[in-house]
Amino acid sequence: MAVNMQNIRRAYLLSTVIIILLIFFVLLPNYKYIHTINPAISNKRTSSLTFWVINLHDGCRIDTTTLLQGLDQTVIIADHVQRKNPYLTEFTRPRILFARDKGPLAPFMYSHTSYTVPLSENDIRNFFNYYKKDSVMMNVNAFYCSFPSSLCEVYMPLNRTIIWLPAHRFTLARCSRPEIDQLILHMQQSVRSEQQPKHFVAAGGRYDQEYIKYYTG
């Protein structure tokens, strides 16, 4: 029972975080989206956003996706699993889309099917080159990453809002000191006041909040 209650509390906190982030996106008066890849949609204000997500854990894949869908947001599922998951009936809801339906996935999705696979600068460069002129990507407002949250590093060159929302330790998938230092630097850069577009580092609970704060400042 204790484990179940812990999961319920964690889900509630994650829901609260997402709702707060959506308020930032939708209601903050001076917030503007900056899209260098697609100038046609620059500065566009909308109450319905499009989120792109790659998650390598079924729980994260279903929970946050259906939460956002319930808030009338659009979610594009871009991981290698696509429809081959145990929650397919939940993914038939409106506004939940699969990137594979729009075209072939980047090779990155098939080479990084586990959090144990390291992320290189070459991976980031190839991902950017694959999607920089992609018609679906041009309409994405934000990326979020939970498992692993460090996967968000691959999105940094695309100049979209990034939500780092760890469902495990934020260093998951970064197994060497240089990799961890680079990740921390990227997260610190993400939340600088002058950063545009705005990025967010969030936590699923007080322990995670203090853990991230301890290592990232």
We report the CATH number of the domain holding residue 99 as: 3.40.50
One DSSP character per residue, 173-185 reads T--SHHHHHHHHH
- Element housing 121 (H / E): helix 121-131
Write out the residue range of the structural domain in which residue 55 sits.
2-216
**Could you report how far apart the first and last alpha carbons of the chain are, in Å?**
35
Which pLDDT band, with edges at 50, 70 and 90, does 30 fall under? very low
User: What is the domain count for the chain?
Assistant: 1
Dihedral (Cα; 142, 145, 151, 152), 10-degree rounding: 30
Which tops the pLDDT comparison, 86 or 100? 100
Model pLDDT, residue 4: 54
Mean pLDDT score, 28-48? 44
Model pLDDT, residue 26: 44
Whether pLDDT at 202 is above 90:
no
Whether pLDDT at 31 is above 60:
no
CB-based burial label for 138 (10 Å; 0-12, 13-18, 19+) = middle
